[in-house]
Chain A
Amino acid sequence: MSRETESLRNARISRAQFFRMMGGLAVAAAAPATLAACSTQTNSGTTAGTGGAAATRLRFVGVADQKAPMDALVAAYQKVKASVAIAPSYAPTDQVQTSVRTQLGAGNAPDLHVVYPGNGSAMSMNQIASAGLLADLSAQSWAQTIPTGFKPAFQHEGKTYIYSAGSSVIGAIYNKKVFEKAGVDAPPTTWSEFLQVCEKIKKAGLPPIALGAQTPWVTQLITYALVPSTVYAKDPGFDDKQAAGQTSFAQSGWRDALEMYLELQKRGFFNDNPNGTTFEQQTSMVATGKAGMAIQVSAVLPDFRKSAATPDDLSMFPLPGADDAAQVWIPAGVVVGLGAAAKGKNVAEATAFIDWLGKQENINAWAKTIAAIPLTQDSSSTIDPVLESFLSFTKDRAVPFMDQRWPNAEVQPTHFAVVQDLLAGEIKIDEALKKMDEAYAK
């Protein structure tokens, strides 16, 4: 036994002394809390201005992709409306799905939270709106101007439930220097031209396409880039027919898209071991000139630029999924947005903030930060110059990301898994399509 414990044992304390001591401890423990409370009060007092009215605090939980635009706009809103303070927090998609959905289920959701457009994931607009947990935004003025083609992404049963600043496209983010060195003078406009470009880069000694298929969501992008040409260019009503059970993944151009995907692998156009390569490694390969291009979504352009020594080396072109340039369609999906909790305490203030986000200048600001194409455009809208080559498509040869029309949250992860299995040579295309059809039917 140590000396300290011995002396404690022998110490004599009367009951009264003991209580006095405990009381003192309790006060000591409570003191910092009281002090902290005082300091918060002074803080909110200063931010709320001289009005003296208690500020409404709105909680926003978003995904990491939303941090840059949201932080800037929240700060701007503070100047417009000092009585409302928005406290944003951000987390990776997986964690947001876990925490926000649990909070939604328990009835204590944040006032504003991330919502994915359309259907097809656990945090998607359709899934949450159909449980009655999203506030109706249909009456707001920006909601009247949603382009027709995008309406399925924003609306459930004719009502608007999600705000999103615009759309992003999927295509090839490429390193201009690598292309130059390999003797490629212009981006390809047909599938066979694309294969020739890859061949040239391969001959120059670099992997033409960096693929980070260890990161699940990256697996889907090549299929998504091809399917508009192999499926929707031939049959724009494919989604409705699939929903009605008249067609399936196996009976459609999805098969061609997967065959083209594997053809790229067979010809040796990917880096070694794509299944063991992550998104970050993929990004750095292209940004540092160790690979020619990556099939990616335009929203990650900022990530690629950050890892490049000279960001201007990077540009983007639509991946041509057909041999007739007129039959090339592209995927253009509404970017991740936000909604207001229908059952929150501050629904009015939360929807007022969304209404403000819907102003053209704010749509422009958000879209610019994430290199997206603004939902609606005016003379002050800017579009990232590297996306120029996509603009001719966005009017009538673009389709939303496929998962936004899928009926449940299982099809997309199944697509991830079968692509990894295909790349590993574990399964054949027939089996992959069968698994996706089964998931669709659930």
Chain B
Amino acid sequence: MSVSTQPSTRRRKRRSGALSPPWLFAAPALLVYAAVVLYPSIAGVVYAFTDWSGIGDMSFVGLANFQAMLGDEQALGSIVNTLLITVAIVVVQNGVGLLLALGVHARIKSQTLLRVIFFAPVVVSPVMVAFLWKYVYNPAPGAGLNGLLAVVGLPSQDWLGDPSLALWSIVGMVVWQNAGYSMVIFLAGLEGVPAELHEASMIDGASTVQRFRFVTWPLLAPALTINLMLSTIGGLKLFDQVFAATGGGPGYATETLSTVLYKQAFVFGKFGYSTAVALVLALFVAAVSFIQLYYLRSREVAQ
């Protein structure tokens, strides 16, 4: 190549320059980033301190939106729902994902086919999943999931219509869709566990459980960190499935922070208040993710 014909002194100069490339190179990308991410985000923060209705004039109202949130039963209830959903999704999705990964990692026949099957729901759009699951959750006796319950002699359930059940029905739907995603990340982690460690532990007489506990599990830490973070963030900002399946109902039983901020903006026309809710959600997600990352990173071990 033409570079190889350059005198060696120039090459050295270039190499030292490569350690800190001129910022100008990044300028086009930074400009685009600023225009489509930074500016809207900062403009959004400003709206949180106004009473903007989405159309027409606005005026600054200071911290009134945040004060209103403290007395807003619906917003506070949605925080509780969001936390419940997040904890449930994080625990169940990753639990199921890990079991699936361990299952298809074992040397069994048709493991590739199984991986494809378990991963398939991930590629379906969440809204479509919600619409499809509405059929599964049909409350009529003998229809959908109730048909399965009837086979084993259990009473049928009003999956999405019973306020005490609807939230968990949604969790079930989300786990069904995303467990395959967790599985893939765990699989990548499992592939990275050196075979010689397993061999060594087998020679030492470790049982299957002990090998998982003391060899596989510690080495899965990076995969676990990613999975926990992604599922936490996914749970905290959950919108599509809830909106399509229940719209936050029955009553306010499945309202999440995301559906509340959607309704405040686009149904009630309170863009200012909605932005304030969004800001709280963003800070909340950032704080939780940061703490999680800090803690989980500290327990990762070098391979």
**A contact residues vs B (CB 8 Å cutoff):** 12, 94, 97-98, 101-102, 104-105, 121-122, 127-128, 130-133, 213-214, 216, 272-278, 281, 408-410, 413, 416-418, 420-421, 423-424, 426-427
Q: Looking at B53, B141, B162, which has the most chain A CB atoms within 10 Å of its CB?
A: B53
Residues of A within 8 A of B1 (CB): 12
Q: Could you jot down 17 A-B contacts, CB within 8 Å?
A: A97-B266, A101-B55, A104-B55, A131-B53, A214-B246, A272-B139, A273-B162, A275-B161, A275-B249, A277-B161, A409-B268, A413-B263, A417-B248, A417-B252, A421-B251, A424-B161, A427-B251
Bound state CA distance, A278 and B140, in angstroms?
11
B163 lies within 8 A of chain A by Cβ: yes
Bound state CA distance, A127 and B162, in angstroms?
35
B181 lies within 8 A of chain A by Cβ: no
Q: A131-B55, A275-B162, A417-B248 are in contact. List 4 more A-B contacts (CB 8 A).
A: A122-B54, A214-B161, A274-B161, A424-B163
Contact for A122 among B138, B159, B269, CB less than 8 A: B269
How many A-B pairs fall under 8 Å by CB?
Answer: 106
Q: Do A98 and B163 have beta carbons less than 8 Å apart?
A: no
Q: Do B267 and A277 have beta carbons less than 8 Å apart?
A: no
Q: How far is the CB of B303 from chain A (nearest CB, A)?
A: 24
Known contacts being A122-B267, A272-B140, A424-B163, is A102 close to B251, with CB within 8 Å? no
Known contacts being A423-B250, A424-B250, is A276 close to B139, with CB within 8 Å? yes
Q: How far is the CB of B63 from chain A (nearest CB, A)?
A: 19
B158 lies within 8 A of chain A by Cβ: yes
Q: Do A420 and B139 have beta carbons less than 8 Å apart?
A: no
Bound state CA distance, A274 and B271, in angstroms?
33
Task: Considering the complex, give the chain B residue whose CB is closest to the CB of A96.
Answer: B266
Bound state CA distance, A101 and B263, in angstroms?
13
Task: Considering the complex, give the chain A residue whose CB is closest to the CB of B247.
Answer: A216
Q: How far is the CB of A15 from chain B (nearest CB, A)?
A: 9
Q: Do A276 and B268 have beta carbons less than 8 Å apart?
A: no
Residues 138-168 of chain B, each 1 if its beta carbon lies under 8 Å from chain A, else 0:
1111000000000000000011111100000
B256-288 interface (Cβ within 8 A of A): 263, 266-269, 271
Task: Considering the complex, give the chain B residue whose CB is closest to the CB of A272.
Answer: B139
Q: Do B247 and A133 have beta carbons less than 8 Å apart?
A: no
Q: How far is the CB of B170 from chain A (nearest CB, A)?
A: 13
Residues 48-67 of chain B, each 1 if its beta carbon lies under 8 Å from chain A, else 0:
00000111100000000000
Contact for A421 among B140, B141, B246, B250, CB less than 8 A: B250
Bound state CA distance, A121 and B268, in angstroms?
7
Bound state CA distance, A103 and B195, in angstroms?
59
Contact for A275 among B158, B263, B267, CB less than 8 A: B158
Known contacts being A12-B1, A133-B55, A276-B162, is A420 close to B251, with CB within 8 Å? yes
Residues of B within 8 A of A417 (CB): 248-252
Q: Do A416 and B249 have beta carbons less than 8 Å apart?
A: yes
B198 lies within 8 A of chain A by Cβ: no
Known contacts being A408-B268, A409-B268, A413-B267, is A105 close to B54, with CB within 8 Å? yes
Residues of A within 8 A of B55 (CB): 101, 104-105, 128, 131, 133
Task: Considering the complex, give the chain B residue whose CB is closest to the CB of A416.
Answer: B249
Q: Do A273 and B139 have beta carbons less than 8 Å apart?
A: yes
Q: Do A214 and B141 have beta carbons less than 8 Å apart?
A: no
Q: Do B269 and A214 have beta carbons less than 8 Å apart?
A: no
Bound state CA distance, A417 and B267, in angstroms?
14
Bound state CA distance, A277 and B139, in angstroms?
7
Known contacts being A276-B162, A281-B138, A424-B161, is A132 close to B252, with CB within 8 Å? no
B134 lies within 8 A of chain A by Cβ: yes
Q: Do A276 and B159 have beta carbons less than 8 Å apart?
A: yes
Q: Looking at B161, B163, B246, B271, which has the most chain A CB atoms within 10 Å of its CB?
A: B161
Task: Considering the complex, give the chain B residue whose CB is closest to the CB of A128.
Answer: B55
Task: Considering the complex, give the chain A residue whose CB is closest to the CB of B249.
Answer: A420
Known contacts being A272-B139, A276-B139, is A132 close to B56, with CB within 8 Å? yes
Residues of B within 8 A of A410 (CB): 268
Residues of A within 8 A of B269 (CB): 101, 122, 127, 409
Q: Do A426 and B266 have beta carbons less than 8 Å apart?
A: no
Q: Do B54 and A420 have beta carbons less than 8 Å apart?
A: no
Residues of B within 8 A of A131 (CB): 53, 55-56
Residues of B within 8 A of A409 (CB): 267-269
Q: Looking at A104, A132, A421, which has the most chain B CB atoms within 10 Å of its CB?
A: A421
Task: Considering the complex, give the chain A residue whose CB is closest to the CB of B141.
Answer: A272
Q: Do B267 and A424 have beta carbons less than 8 Å apart?
A: no
B277-301 interface (Cβ within 8 A of A): none
